[in-house]
Chains A and B, each alone.
Chain A
Amino acid sequence: MQARSKKEAQERVDQVRSFQRELGVLEEEGLLSLSAEQKGRVEGYHDTLVRGLYEQYDVDIHEKQKQYSFGMVITSFLGAVALSIGLFFLFFQFWGLFSTATQVTILTLLPFALLYLTYRLSDSETTGYFTKIAAMMALAAFVLDLMMIGSIFNINPSPNSLLVWALFGMLLAYATDTRLLLGASILILASYLSAQTGTWSGMYWISFGERPENFFIPALVLFLIPSYISHERYSGFESIYRVFASIIFFMPVLILSNWGYASYMDFDHDHIEMFYQVVGFVVSGAGVYVGITKNWGEVASSSNIFFTLFLYTKFYDWWWDMMPKFLFFIIIGASSIGMLMLFKKIRTAILREEA
C-alpha cells in the first residue's frame, strides 16, 4: 500500500511497529507462533517497507526519533517566526538610508530570492524543516514588500493585499506541505473574505472586525473546502481547514452571545444575545456529533471546547453575582464531572455498537 503523504507514511510505520510489539506479546503468551519462513518473509517485507518510507518521507522509525522530531518541529516553528519578525525589523532599521530605487529593488527581489531558496531546499532536503523556515520567510518578505511599497508611495490601503498574501501563502503551503503556512494563510484569507463581506454593507473594510457576522461566510467556505477538494497527499491539511473554520465560526458567535450590539440585526440586544447563545449550543453540539460520526476528531474537539465555553459563560451570567464564589466553582467542577460521565457513557455505547 503506497503512502500518499508523510502523515500516512508515519501512520504506516507506527502500524508496523505496533504489529511487531503485539506479535511479540502473542508469541510470549503462546497464542500465536509463526514459522521461521513466515517470520522471515514478514520481517523482510516490513524492513523493505519501512526503509522505503524513511527514504521517501523521512519518517520516524523509532520512538526516540519521534521525541527528537517533536523538538525539531517546535524549534523550526520558533525559528521561522523569529526570522520572519527579524526580517521586518532589519528592514525598518536601515531602509530610510537607501534611495527609493534601492528600497524598491530590495523589496521586490527579496521575496523572489527566498522563494527560489525554498524551492532549492525542498528539492535537496528530506526532513523539510529548513524548507519550511525558508517558506515562512518568503511569505514574510512578501508581506513586507507590499507594506513598505505602500508606505514609500503613500498608497491607499486595500483589502486586496490580504487576498494576494493568502494566495501566496497557500501556494507555498501546498508546495512545501507546511501546516503552519496553511494556518497563517487561512487566517489572512478569512480576514479578506470578512472585509469583502463588510464592504458589501457599505462599511470601511478595515472595520470588518467590528461586525463578527462578517466571519460566518468565510468559516463556511473554509469548512467545505476539504469536502470538495481532496487533500490525501498533504499531512493534516483537512484538519487545519476544519479547526480554523470552527474557530472562525465559534469565536464570533461567542462574542455576539455576550455583545449583541455588534450584530447587523436590528433587534433588541438581549434578544440577539439569546439567539446567538442558542446558536452556539446547537451548532457546537451538532459539531460534536458530526465530528464523532465522520471521524473528524478535530471538529469534535473544537466543538467540545466551545460547547464548554458557552456553558461556562452561561453559568457565569446566571450565578456569578448571586452566589458565593466557592459555590460557583464547585458547580463548574461538578458540571465537568457530569459531562465526563456522559461522555464515558457515549464512549461505552460506541464500543458496544462497534462490537
Chain B
Amino acid sequence: MGSLTQKKTLFIFAALLLAIVNGTIYLNVWLNQWSEPTSVVKLTQRELSFVEESHHDDSALYLHLKWRGDYRYAYRTHMDWLDEKKLRELGFRVQFDENGVLKRTPQRELFIVLEMNGKCYQNAIEYARKYLEDYKNQNQQDYANSAEFKARQKSLEEMETKNSRLCTVDAGSDPELLRHQYPDKTKYIILKGVINIYGGTHDNVSGVISQFFASDIFIPLRFHQKFVESQRESTTDYQENLLGGYDKDIGFEATVAIGSRYEPYIIEVK
C-alpha cells in the first residue's frame, strides 16, 4: 500500500510540476507582451527576411532578422565599435599567452543595441557612394562599361534600396543603462545576444556577435495570409540573400515590439 501511495504522490508531483512550469511561462509571456514594450519599430523586408523552411516537415513561418555589423561591412559579424577596449568593459578576460596569442575566452550573453535607419546606415550609404566615386576618379576614361564599376554601382543601389538598415551600435550587461543612453524607442532596439572574441593577437582582437536569441520571429497564423498573398504577387525570382538562403521578394512592413523581457512579437503586418 505504501508503494502505491508513493507512486500516486509522484504522479501528483509530476502534474504539479507541469502546471507550475506552464503557468510561469505564460505569466512571463503575459508580462512581456502586456507591459510597456521597450521598443516598437517598423521593419520591412529589408530587415526581416521571410525565409521558408527548406524542408517540408515544419509548417511554421518565421521572419529572420537581418542586420549589419557596422557601416563598412555587409557581413554582420565585423564591427569596429566592439574592439578590445569595449570587450574588456563588457567583462571579457582578454588575455594573451607568452607568444602574444589570444587565450581562449568563453562567449558571453549580453544586451545589444541595434539602430534603425540611423547614422550607421547613413555612413554605410556614404561609404558605398565613395567607393563608387573612387573608382570613377581612378578610371576616368572608360569606367562606365567595366564590370567593376557596375558591381560597385549595384552595391550602392542595394545599399539604398534593399540592404538592412539595422546596425549594431553598442552592447552592455545592463539593458536599462543602455536604454538611458539610447532613449528613442522607435529607433533603437535592445535585444539579448551572444558575443564572442575574434582574432589571434593584440592587433586584430575584436568582438563578434555570434547570434541574437530572437533572430527568428515566429509569424502567428493571423498574419500568414499577408505573406501568402505577397508570394502570389511577387514576379521576381528567388534571390540569394547574405545568409545563404533564398528570399522571396516580398514587400511588407511589420510593426515589431520588443517586450519588457526583451522578447519580440509582431503587432501588425501590412
Which residues from chain A sit less than 8 Å from chain B, CB to CB? 89, 92-100, 104, 108, 111-112, 115, 118-119, 122, 142, 145-146, 149, 151-157, 164, 167-168, 171-172, 174-175, 198, 201-207, 210-211, 233, 261-262, 266
Q: Which of B58, B91, B104, B107 contacts A92 (CB 8 A)?
A: B58
How would residues 162 to 205 of chain B score, 1 for a CB under 8 Å from any chain A CB and 0 otherwise?
00000000000000000000000000000010100000000000
Distance from A199 Cβ to chain B, minimum over Cβ atoms (Å): 9
Binary contact track B215-259/A, C-beta < 8 Å → 1, others 0: 011101110100000000000000000000000000000000000
Our pick among B29, B59, B104 for the contact of A97 (Cβ within 8 Å) is B59
A119 smallest CB distance to B (angstroms): 5
Q: Which B residues are closer than 8 A to A by beta carbons?
A: 3, 7-8, 10-11, 13-15, 17-18, 21-22, 25-26, 28-29, 32-33, 57-61, 91, 103-104, 106-109, 192, 194, 213-214, 216-218, 220-222, 224, 261-265
Q: What is the CA–CA distance of A174 and B13 in the complex, to the nearest angstrom?
A: 12
Looking at the assembled complex, report how far the CB atom of A17 sits from the nearest CB atom of chain B, in whole angstroms: 26
Q: In the complex where A108-B22, A204-B108, A204-B109 touch, is A156 in contact with B263 (Cβ < 8 A)?
A: yes
Do A115 and B11 touch (CB < 8 A)? yes
Given A99-B221, A145-B22, CB of A207 within 8 Å of CB of B14: no
Q: Please give me the 4 A-B residue pairs with the lowest Cβ-Cβ distance, nearest first.
A: A96-B59, A203-B106, A175-B10, A96-B60
Contacts of B26 in A (CB 8 A): 104
Q: How distant is the Cα of A94 from the Cα of B221 in the complex, in angstroms?
A: 12
**Which of A94, A111, A204 is the one whose CB lies under 8 Å from B18?**
A111
Between-chain CB contacts (< 8 Å), 16 pairs: A92-B58, A96-B59, A96-B61, A108-B22, A112-B15, A115-B15, A115-B18, A146-B25, A151-B60, A153-B29, A154-B216, A154-B263, A156-B214, A171-B10, A204-B106, A210-B106
How far, in angstroms, from A211 to B192 measured CA to CA in the complex?
Answer: 23
B7 touches A168 (CB 8 A): no
Nearest CB of B to A7, in Å:
14
Cβ distance B249 to chain A, nearest Cβ, rounded Å:
22
CB < 8 Å A-B pair total: 117
B17 touches A171 (CB 8 A): yes
When C-beta atoms are compared, the residue in chain A nearest to B91 turns out to be A202
The CA-CA distance from A95 to B219 in the complex, in Å, is 12
With A122-B7, A153-B265, A156-B192 already in contact, the answer to whether A168 and B17 are too (CB < 8 A) is yes
What CA separation (Å) do A96 and B228 show in the bound complex?
A: 13
Residues of chain B with a CB closer than 8 A to A99's CB: 220-222
Docked complex Cα distance between A152 and B107 (Å): 26
Contact status A112-B18, CB under 8 Å: yes
Contacts of A156 in B (CB 8 A): 192, 213-214, 261-263
The answer, among B10, B32, B59, for a CB contact under 8 Å with A153, is B32
Contacts of A175 in B (CB 8 A): 7, 10-11, 14
Q: Contact at A203–B107, with CB atoms within 8 Å?
A: yes
Q: Does the CB pair A153–B218 fall under 8 Å?
A: yes
Is there an interface contact between B25 and A154, defined as CB atoms closer than 8 Å?
A: no
Question: Which chain A positions have C-beta within 8 A of B214?
Answer: 154, 156
* Beyond A96-B60, A100-B221, A175-B7, 19 extra complex contacts between A and B, CB < 8 Å: A95-B59, A96-B58, A118-B11, A146-B25, A149-B22, A149-B29, A154-B264, A156-B213, A156-B214, A168-B18, A171-B11, A172-B10, A174-B10, A175-B14, A203-B106, A203-B107, A206-B194, A211-B106, A266-B103
A149 and B25 within 8 A (CB) = yes
